[in-house]
Each structure stands twice: as C-alpha cells, then as structure tokens.
Amino acid sequence: MEPTQHLTTNLMTAPHLRISIMPQRFTVDFDNETIRGLFSDDWNAIVAEVPQLPALPLNFAQSLERFDQVTTTTDFRKVITTTSYLASGDDNDKDRYFDSEWAENAIRQFLLLFEHEDQPLRSKCHENWYSVNIWSPIIDGSFLSNPGVILVRGEFTCQSSILRRNRRRSEPSLRMSHEFCVMEVATTLRSKPTSKKWLTDKAKLTRVLRDMLSWLITLADHDRRVVDKLQVVGILTAGLDMQMSRRCQRKGYVCLLVRERLRSIPNDVRQFKELLIFLARFVPTKLSHDRGLYHGIQQTIAGAFASALLDELLNDRLTSKRGTVVARLPQPADTPW
C-alpha cells in the first residue's frame, strides 16, 4: 500500500522520536513519478531538503580546460607532455592539487586504452575488466585523499546489512566499520533502463543504502546535528556507464533517494570532452565525503558509544535521555524485506 501524501508529509516533518516503526523505511524516490505525484504542492520544498553537492574547485576545472581541443591521440600526448595541471609558479600543494593529479593519472590510463590496437573500449569485456581498467583509476584513486577511507573491491557483504539481519543476537561478534559508499559492477548491458540485471542491481543498491544509513543514524544516536549531514552513496555501473545515487534523512523518518543522471565513458578519443565532463561531475560527490565532515561525524559517533553507559545509568530503560519512549516491534514487522 502506498503512503498517502498527508501521512508521508506528517512523517517527514514529525518531531524527533526514538521509536522503531515501519515508516522509518519509507523512501521518497525522486525517480518515481507516482511518488512525485503525491507531493505536487510540496515537491519543491522536498527537493530543497536534499544536501547540495560542493561546487567544483576552479583550479580543477582549469586543469581540465587545457584538453579542450583534443580530438586525436596525438593531440592528447602533446597536451600531456607540454602542459601541467599546476598553475604557473605554484608549488605542488598536495591538498590543493590532489584532484587535478588524480584526473591526469586517470586520463593517462584512457590514453593507453584509446591507442590500444584491439580497441577494448569498443568491445564487450568481462565485468572484472571494467572494474580494474575503468572504474579503479577513477573511483579508487579519487578517495585516496580521504584519510581513514578504505575501498574494498570484490564480492563483499555489506556489514550494515549483516547487522540488521542479526540484530536480535545477544552477542554480535561482527567488528563494524562506518560504511558510506557501495558499488555494483556489471558488464555492458544493451538495454540498461529496462534490463533485468540493471533493475535487480538497482534494487539491491537501494536496500544496501538503507541499511548503511540506518546503522550510521543509530551510531549517531539520532542526533540531528549529525543525521542532517549524513548521506550515503551508491554507484551502479554497467560496462562504460555509471549512475550514482545518494540517500539521506532530513526531517522525521522518511529518507530521500536521489539518483544522478546516467553518464558514460567515451569509447572514442574524438569524444574525449565527455570524459572530462564525467570526471568533473564525479568530483563533487567525492568532495561531499571530505575529511572535515566525516572526521566530525566519526567523533560524534564515538561520543555516542562513550555516553551509552551514562545514559543507561541516568535514565530508565524504557526512556531515552531525551525523555521519549523507546518502542520496538518484532523483527518481521520492522524488516520490510
């Protein structure tokens, strides 16, 4: 049963309550036309609740601008060997120029692929080939600027999902990390928006993002100062195509799910400008997970752990330190799937 506009609006604007209920699982999917139709009057206000991505740094945009006239691999090599991403007279400041250096390293990787006699970018390859040769230079390399961030590749089970499924155990043995991003890789699909593989991976990503965000909110003890800053990112790829999505919780219990536009890596050097635009659109998402924001979140989460005993000593087990009732439903009721 779909929630009515009145019910969902009330849940989005509800005051802070620490109650485990099914409406916590409701998600306003910005891609769903039916959902948008429920909020015809309030849709602009809902959209405004989504955290804005940081602006693209000017020096990064200028470092890509030097490739503007590249249409052949010869042009490509000339720009690489005769120009630099560093501004004239500037020192190579690691923090300021990290993204520009990362982009140049990724661009050099694509030069080798453009020049390869077998033209692998125009062929259908195994998903692991795309993971190693396309997405690793772009995604793995970009997050090296974030201290404490570790990217785990391969078939890896989301730890937040494991915790949800085993949350009734009295002694969970899982050593937990803070998860902020998840990625699903597939080979080239002929009909991405409607293919079964694409839709299945999309649904899987949505469920994992729900578990990741729910666990982070729990670790932060539902502190709105932290929750309002939290957002988790999903990356869905198929061959040379990628779509990113962000999930956050702003007011009440309802989460917001925003999917970025589907973007593609060019398979021909004559379309090289598309690669520059691709890199420029990826950087703001990475910057939204910068060291300052997540260092602060991790500090707050650590504080939530430290204050748990004090909270139990000072308050009755059935009330929280904010004085609101803590209620729990049976496991089948609070787990929608």
**Integer Cα distance of 234 and 255 in angstroms:** 14
Q: Where are the domains of the chain?
A: 27-300
Query: Cβ of 209: how many Cβ atoms within 10 Å?
Result: 26
Q: Is the predicted pLDDT of residue 274 greater than 60, yes or no? A: yes
110 pLDDT band, cuts 50/70/90, is very high
Q: Highest-confidence range of 35-49, 260-274, 322-336, by mean pLDDT? A: 260-274
**Integer Cα distance of 246 and 248 in angstroms:** 7
Alpha carbons within 13 A on the beta-carbon side of 16 = 14
136-174 per-position pLDDT tens digit: 999 888 888 877 777 777 777 788 887 777 766 655 555
Q: Contacts by 122-130 with C-beta closer than 8 Å and gap 24+?
A: 122/267, 122/268, 124/187, 124/188, 124/239, 125/187, 125/188, 125/239, 126/187, 127/185, 127/186, 127/187, 128/185, 130/185, 130/187, 130/237, 130/239, 130/240
Q: Could you tell me which residues are beta bridge partners of residue 258?
A: 246
